[in-house]
Amino acid sequence: MKRNSETDNKKINRLLGVWSHPDDEAYLSAGLMAQVVKDGGSVTIVTITDGEKGFPESDPRSAADKSAQRRGELRDAMAEIGVRDIRFLGIEDGEVAAPPQDMLVARIAGVMKQIRPDLVVTFGPDGITGHSDHVANSAIATAAWNSAGFGDLWYAAKTESWLNQWRKQHDDFGLWMTEEPTGVPNEMAEHVLDLEGPALDKKRAVLAAHRSQTQMVAELFGEAAYREWICQETFRSPTPQELRDADRVLEYVR
Protein backbone atom coordinates (compact mmCIF):
# COMPACT_ATOMS: atom_id res chain seq x y z
CA MET A 1 0.00 0.00 0.00
CA LYS A 2 1.18 3.50 -0.77
CA ARG A 3 1.61 5.29 2.53
CA ASN A 4 1.06 8.99 2.29
CA SER A 5 -1.73 9.74 4.72
CA GLU A 6 -2.10 9.99 8.47
CA THR A 7 -4.40 6.95 8.44
CA ASP A 8 -1.80 4.87 6.61
CA ASN A 9 0.81 5.70 9.23
CA LYS A 10 -1.18 4.50 12.21
CA LYS A 11 -2.67 1.15 13.07
CA ILE A 12 -6.29 0.63 12.04
CA ASN A 13 -7.92 -0.83 15.15
CA ARG A 14 -11.52 -0.65 13.95
CA LEU A 15 -12.54 -0.80 10.31
CA LEU A 16 -16.11 -0.35 9.09
CA GLY A 17 -17.22 -1.24 5.58
CA VAL A 18 -20.59 0.00 4.31
CA TRP A 19 -21.69 -1.80 1.15
CA SER A 20 -24.82 -2.43 -0.91
CA HIS A 21 -24.68 -6.18 -1.52
CA PRO A 22 -22.86 -9.25 -0.25
CA ASP A 23 -19.64 -9.59 -2.34
CA ASP A 24 -19.09 -5.81 -2.72
CA GLU A 25 -16.95 -5.92 0.40
CA ALA A 26 -14.94 -8.86 -0.96
CA TYR A 27 -14.08 -7.47 -4.37
CA LEU A 28 -13.21 -4.01 -3.07
CA SER A 29 -11.66 -4.52 0.37
CA ALA A 30 -10.98 -8.18 1.27
CA GLY A 31 -7.23 -7.58 1.35
CA LEU A 32 -7.58 -4.51 3.54
CA MET A 33 -9.92 -6.31 5.94
CA ALA A 34 -7.62 -9.32 6.18
CA GLN A 35 -4.66 -7.07 7.00
CA VAL A 36 -6.58 -5.26 9.75
CA VAL A 37 -7.58 -8.57 11.35
CA LYS A 38 -4.05 -9.96 10.99
CA ASP A 39 -2.72 -6.88 12.79
CA GLY A 40 -5.12 -7.45 15.69
CA GLY A 41 -7.86 -5.02 14.69
CA SER A 42 -11.59 -5.58 14.27
CA VAL A 43 -13.79 -5.28 11.20
CA THR A 44 -17.51 -4.59 10.97
CA ILE A 45 -19.45 -5.01 7.73
CA VAL A 46 -22.78 -3.32 7.03
CA THR A 47 -24.63 -4.68 4.00
CA ILE A 48 -27.65 -2.60 3.08
CA THR A 49 -29.39 -5.24 0.96
CA ASP A 50 -29.18 -9.03 0.83
CA GLY A 51 -28.54 -9.01 -2.92
CA GLU A 52 -31.51 -11.27 -3.54
CA LYS A 53 -31.89 -10.08 -7.14
CA GLY A 54 -28.41 -11.30 -8.05
CA PHE A 55 -29.71 -14.54 -9.58
CA PRO A 56 -30.99 -15.48 -13.05
CA GLU A 57 -34.62 -14.60 -13.71
CA SER A 58 -35.23 -18.29 -14.31
CA ASP A 59 -34.40 -19.09 -10.67
CA PRO A 60 -37.79 -20.13 -9.22
CA ARG A 61 -36.92 -19.65 -5.55
CA SER A 62 -38.51 -17.06 -3.32
CA ALA A 63 -36.80 -13.80 -2.50
CA ALA A 64 -36.46 -15.05 1.07
CA ASP A 65 -34.59 -18.15 -0.05
CA LYS A 66 -32.27 -16.09 -2.24
CA SER A 67 -31.62 -13.66 0.60
CA ALA A 68 -30.78 -16.55 2.90
CA GLN A 69 -28.26 -17.88 0.40
CA ARG A 70 -26.55 -14.52 -0.05
CA ARG A 71 -26.40 -13.95 3.72
CA GLY A 72 -24.91 -17.40 4.20
CA GLU A 73 -22.31 -16.76 1.51
CA LEU A 74 -21.32 -13.49 3.15
CA ARG A 75 -20.89 -15.17 6.52
CA ASP A 76 -18.79 -17.92 4.93
CA ALA A 77 -16.69 -15.35 3.05
CA MET A 78 -16.01 -13.27 6.14
CA ALA A 79 -15.16 -16.38 8.16
CA GLU A 80 -12.22 -16.87 5.78
CA ILE A 81 -10.60 -13.73 7.22
CA GLY A 82 -11.97 -13.79 10.76
CA VAL A 83 -14.68 -11.13 10.38
CA ARG A 84 -17.74 -11.95 12.49
CA ASP A 85 -19.49 -8.61 13.01
CA ILE A 86 -21.88 -8.40 10.05
CA ARG A 87 -24.90 -6.08 10.13
CA PHE A 88 -27.75 -6.77 7.68
CA LEU A 89 -30.07 -3.80 7.09
CA GLY A 90 -32.53 -5.78 4.97
CA ILE A 91 -33.41 -3.15 2.37
CA GLU A 92 -34.80 -4.62 -0.85
CA ASP A 93 -32.16 -5.22 -3.49
CA GLY A 94 -32.28 -2.45 -6.09
CA GLU A 95 -34.10 -0.07 -3.74
CA VAL A 96 -31.35 1.57 -1.69
CA ALA A 97 -32.40 5.00 -2.96
CA ALA A 98 -36.09 4.32 -2.32
CA PRO A 99 -36.54 4.16 1.49
CA PRO A 100 -36.50 7.41 3.43
CA GLN A 101 -32.82 8.19 3.28
CA ASP A 102 -32.91 9.74 6.73
CA MET A 103 -33.69 6.28 8.11
CA LEU A 104 -30.68 4.67 6.43
CA VAL A 105 -28.38 7.55 7.37
CA ALA A 106 -29.49 7.30 11.00
CA ARG A 107 -29.04 3.51 11.12
CA ILE A 108 -25.56 3.61 9.64
CA ALA A 109 -24.53 6.59 11.77
CA GLY A 110 -25.75 4.60 14.77
CA VAL A 111 -23.37 1.77 13.89
CA MET A 112 -20.53 4.27 13.55
CA LYS A 113 -21.29 5.78 16.95
CA GLN A 114 -21.39 2.33 18.49
CA ILE A 115 -18.11 0.96 17.13
CA ARG A 116 -16.23 4.27 16.70
CA PRO A 117 -14.23 3.21 13.63
CA ASP A 118 -10.77 4.50 12.82
CA LEU A 119 -11.61 4.08 9.13
CA VAL A 120 -14.79 3.76 7.06
CA VAL A 121 -14.63 2.35 3.53
CA THR A 122 -17.50 2.50 1.06
CA PHE A 123 -18.40 3.35 -2.53
CA GLY A 124 -17.55 6.65 -4.14
CA PRO A 125 -20.18 8.59 -6.10
CA ASP A 126 -19.55 6.57 -9.29
CA GLY A 127 -20.51 3.38 -7.46
CA ILE A 128 -17.69 1.56 -9.34
CA THR A 129 -20.16 -0.25 -11.62
CA GLY A 130 -22.74 2.51 -11.86
CA HIS A 131 -25.31 0.37 -10.01
CA SER A 132 -28.00 2.66 -8.59
CA ASP A 133 -27.71 0.96 -5.20
CA HIS A 134 -23.97 1.66 -5.11
CA VAL A 135 -24.45 5.32 -6.02
CA ALA A 136 -27.11 5.82 -3.34
CA ASN A 137 -24.96 3.85 -0.88
CA SER A 138 -22.15 6.35 -1.37
CA ALA A 139 -24.27 9.38 -0.54
CA ILE A 140 -25.95 7.71 2.43
CA ALA A 141 -22.75 6.34 3.96
CA THR A 142 -20.99 9.68 3.47
CA ALA A 143 -23.85 11.54 5.11
CA ALA A 144 -23.74 9.09 8.02
CA TRP A 145 -19.99 9.66 8.36
CA ASN A 146 -20.53 13.43 8.31
CA SER A 147 -23.06 12.99 11.10
CA ALA A 148 -21.15 10.53 13.29
CA GLY A 149 -17.73 12.14 12.93
CA PHE A 150 -15.55 9.09 13.62
CA GLY A 151 -12.35 8.14 11.83
CA ASP A 152 -11.34 8.67 8.23
CA LEU A 153 -13.41 7.97 5.13
CA TRP A 154 -12.09 6.24 2.02
CA TYR A 155 -13.88 5.60 -1.25
CA ALA A 156 -13.16 2.44 -3.22
CA ALA A 157 -11.81 3.34 -6.65
CA LYS A 158 -10.10 1.97 -9.74
CA THR A 159 -6.90 3.31 -11.26
CA GLU A 160 -6.79 4.41 -14.87
CA SER A 161 -4.05 1.87 -15.58
CA TRP A 162 -6.22 -0.94 -14.18
CA LEU A 163 -9.18 0.14 -16.32
CA ASN A 164 -6.96 0.32 -19.41
CA GLN A 165 -5.51 -3.12 -18.73
CA TRP A 166 -8.90 -4.80 -18.41
CA ARG A 167 -11.08 -2.71 -20.73
CA LYS A 168 -11.43 -5.38 -23.42
CA GLN A 169 -12.58 -8.00 -20.94
CA HIS A 170 -14.97 -5.57 -19.28
CA ASP A 171 -16.50 -4.73 -22.65
CA ASP A 172 -16.60 -8.35 -23.80
CA PHE A 173 -18.24 -9.55 -20.58
CA GLY A 174 -20.51 -6.52 -20.08
CA LEU A 175 -19.39 -6.02 -16.49
CA TRP A 176 -20.34 -2.34 -16.12
CA MET A 177 -24.04 -1.71 -15.60
CA THR A 178 -23.83 1.83 -16.98
CA GLU A 179 -20.73 3.65 -18.18
CA GLU A 180 -17.19 2.79 -17.16
CA PRO A 181 -16.08 4.16 -13.76
CA THR A 182 -14.06 7.32 -13.63
CA GLY A 183 -10.54 6.04 -13.08
CA VAL A 184 -8.13 7.62 -10.64
CA PRO A 185 -4.79 8.65 -12.19
CA ASN A 186 -2.14 6.36 -10.79
CA GLU A 187 -0.29 9.22 -9.11
CA MET A 188 -3.55 10.38 -7.48
CA ALA A 189 -4.49 7.00 -5.98
CA GLU A 190 -3.88 7.69 -2.33
CA HIS A 191 -4.21 4.18 -0.91
CA VAL A 192 -3.29 1.17 -3.05
CA LEU A 193 -2.95 -2.41 -1.91
CA ASP A 194 -1.39 -4.87 -4.38
CA LEU A 195 -1.99 -8.41 -3.16
CA GLU A 196 0.25 -11.33 -3.93
CA GLY A 197 1.14 -14.73 -2.49
CA PRO A 198 -0.79 -15.77 0.62
CA ALA A 199 -2.65 -12.44 0.77
CA LEU A 200 -4.01 -12.98 -2.73
CA ASP A 201 -4.82 -16.61 -1.92
CA LYS A 202 -6.87 -15.38 1.03
CA LYS A 203 -8.81 -12.90 -1.08
CA ARG A 204 -9.47 -15.61 -3.66
CA ALA A 205 -10.90 -17.82 -0.91
CA VAL A 206 -13.14 -14.98 0.27
CA LEU A 207 -14.49 -14.50 -3.24
CA ALA A 208 -14.94 -18.24 -3.76
CA ALA A 209 -17.30 -18.26 -0.78
CA HIS A 210 -19.55 -15.85 -2.70
CA ARG A 211 -19.99 -18.69 -5.16
CA SER A 212 -23.34 -17.62 -6.63
CA GLN A 213 -21.82 -14.31 -7.74
CA THR A 214 -18.18 -15.08 -8.48
CA GLN A 215 -17.94 -18.54 -9.99
CA MET A 216 -19.19 -17.53 -13.43
CA VAL A 217 -16.99 -14.40 -13.53
CA ALA A 218 -13.92 -16.42 -12.60
CA GLU A 219 -14.71 -18.92 -15.34
CA LEU A 220 -15.08 -16.12 -17.90
CA PHE A 221 -11.67 -14.70 -17.05
CA GLY A 222 -9.89 -17.99 -16.42
CA GLU A 223 -8.27 -18.56 -13.04
CA ALA A 224 -4.91 -16.94 -13.71
CA ALA A 225 -6.43 -13.78 -15.21
CA TYR A 226 -9.10 -13.63 -12.51
CA ARG A 227 -6.45 -13.65 -9.78
CA GLU A 228 -4.63 -10.84 -11.53
CA TRP A 229 -7.90 -8.92 -11.99
CA ILE A 230 -8.74 -9.03 -8.26
CA CYS A 231 -5.28 -8.38 -6.81
CA GLN A 232 -5.41 -4.57 -6.60
CA GLU A 233 -7.50 -2.60 -4.10
CA THR A 234 -7.51 1.17 -4.46
CA PHE A 235 -8.98 3.83 -2.22
CA ARG A 236 -9.14 7.60 -2.30
CA SER A 237 -10.30 10.29 0.07
CA PRO A 238 -13.51 12.17 -0.75
CA THR A 239 -13.26 15.69 -2.08
CA PRO A 240 -14.71 18.59 -0.08
CA GLN A 241 -17.43 18.91 -2.74
CA GLU A 242 -18.39 15.25 -2.36
CA LEU A 243 -18.73 15.72 1.39
CA ARG A 244 -20.91 18.79 0.84
CA ASP A 245 -23.06 16.96 -1.70
CA ALA A 246 -23.76 14.24 0.86
CA ASP A 247 -25.07 16.87 3.25
CA ARG A 248 -28.11 17.13 0.98
CA VAL A 249 -28.97 13.71 2.41
CA LEU A 250 -27.81 14.58 5.90
CA GLU A 251 -30.08 17.62 6.15
CA TYR A 252 -33.08 15.32 6.45
CA VAL A 253 -31.88 13.92 9.76
CA ARG A 254 -30.93 17.18 11.41
In this structure, are residues 105 and 253 in contact, taking their beta carbons and an 8 Å threshold? yes
Q: How far apart are CA 92 and CA 104, in angstroms?
A: 13
Hey, which CATH number is domain 14-246, 3.40.50.1860, 3.40.50.10320, 3.10.310.40, 2.40.50.140?
A: 3.40.50.10320
What are the pLDDT tens digits along the chain (254 aa)? 333 344 454 689 999 999 999 999 999 999 999 999 999 999 999 999 999 999 999 999 999 999 999 999 999 999 999 999 999 999 999 999 987 888 999 999 999 999 999 999 999 998 988 889 999 999 999 999 999 989 999 999 999 999 999 999 998 888 876 777 878 888 878 899 999 999 999 999 999 999 999 999 999 999 999 999 999 999 999 999 999 988 776 554 44
Q: Phi/psi class of residue 242: alpha, beta or left (left: φ > 0; alpha: ψ in -120 to 50)?
A: alpha
- Tell me the domain boundaries of the chain: 14-246
CB atoms near residue 26 (< 10 Å): 30
Q: What's the rounded Cα separation, in Å, for the pair 184 and 162?
A: 9
What's the confidence (pLDDT) of residue 179?
72
184-208 CB burial, b ≥16 within 10 A, e <16 = beeeebbbbbebeeebbebbbbbbb
* pTM of the entire predicted model: 0.92
Return the pLDDT at 85: 98
**CA proximity to 159, closest of 220, 224, 226, 229:** 229
For residue 174, the model assigns a pLDDT of 84
The per-residue pLDDT for 254 is 41
